[in-house]
Chain A
């Protein structure tokens, strides 16, 4: 079943600019497939699915590595691994939901190789880091021979595994704006088992109550319940300005069901995903503000 790996070619660029030039030149006659950590690609190859015969190795591009602060934001190179994210002091302190998500992607071996850029570019609806990036309102930095571009996360996914990037653009970095002060961060993955699993439902959330006790910040994102990772806008609208109560929680839940479109697939079914999405939303709300559970 495995693809014939010996027939596959790899371009090894000397620099990011070189990589972008190679990528651009390859359009039209066998586009180079970017190769990051390989943790998704090689699973496909093993199953006999071959995305292309020519690959662009990003592994040696130092421009894509490293974590830096810039004007209050944290900028992570596209080739930052999930182990690095999981263990980075600033990520753990400022974006605990992202550190939590990184710790639940596969296990050590996958986290040591899987990259942030790869997880985004793979655009799986079940990508565990994606809902967190969505609620943190991350910005994807892309580059091509034509220059640099910034794409807000909310506009990144056009459809199932379809990114709003040009075929010759590479993701170079992801910047995380300063997390809203005093907002609770939440991450919950419901997988097929307790470790090394693909999610059936994955939810990330940000919630904050203002001084008047009403919700003044609500961001909710889910994966595995639609063709793309999505912001649950209807649920957010119901929550914004609401006073936490069981009624508000139920209303948010009802709105959420309009935001998502889960299906039956190899791991779970639509009915389960509908029910559990709502349940996990309510878990999030009462974890963030216990009053959401009271009459």
Chain B
């Protein structure tokens, strides 16, 4: 029993050794002790998902995780999504397709979407599947439409090219089914 605990965790691939109060929220450990302010607080009660990080590959609300239970864990935050200076396919899709407006929910949404795309393993998830995955990430600005479209566009862009080439007719049909429908601007 002690007022502070020694933690060893890996954040975005980098090992961190910290000494923090055991019930300090993982959210605050990341923002304060690791200096990673990309993960945001929107509610403190696990409702809005702005604090979503991956913990051992699973999306969790960092505002509900005590530091002591993050000991030995592998954490991925928004800062870990890009490879060096280049944006990931998912991040770029958000910038280009209006998936981010005020941006405060964006880190949490990108992390959850990243987990979804990892699980989908090259498949393009249906719109309803994306919505269910993102049900724990509230956005007040976008209405979610462009977020869903951006996630699916990223999934389409990430599909293994070899597989697409090997079976052209099916791949083309799948691309037709999964490509974002022509909603939006009409004159």
Contact = CB atoms under 8 A, between A and B. Distances in A.
Contacts of A106: 46, 136
A113 interface: yes
Interface stretch (B57-65, B79-87, B91-99, B174-182): B57-65
A8 B132 CA distance: 35
A5 B25 contact: yes
B60 A107 contact: no
A179 B112 CA distance: 35
Contacts of A289: none
Interface stretch (B16-24, B147-155, B165-173): B16-24
B interface bracket (residues with beta carbon within 8 Å of A): 20 to 34
A42 to B, nearest CB: 4
Contacts of A45: 23
B104 interface: no
B49 interface: yes
A interface bracket (residues with beta carbon within 8 Å of B): 20 to 34
A57 B66 CA distance: 10
Contacts of A42: 25, 45-46, 63-66
A2 interface: yes
B45 A5 contact: no
| B interface, over-half SS | mixed
Given A2-B44, A10-B1, A42-B46, A108 B133 contact: yes
Given A10-B1, A54-B1, A196 B135 contact: yes
Contacts of B101: none
A11 B136 CA distance: 31
Contacts of A9: 1-3, 22-23
Given A2-B44, A35-B66, A195 B135 contact: yes
Given A8-B22, A108-B133, A109-B46, A38 B59 contact: no
A46 B58 contact: no
Contacts of A57: 22, 66, 68-69
7 contacts: A5-B25, A7-B3, A10-B66, A37-B64, A38-B66, A106-B136, A113-B60
Interface of B: 1-3, 5, 21-25, 44-47, 49, 52, 55, 58-61, 63-66, 68-69, 112, 115, 132-133, 135-137
Interface of A: 2, 5-12, 35, 37-39, 42-43, 45-47, 54-55, 57, 59, 83, 106-110, 112-113, 195-196
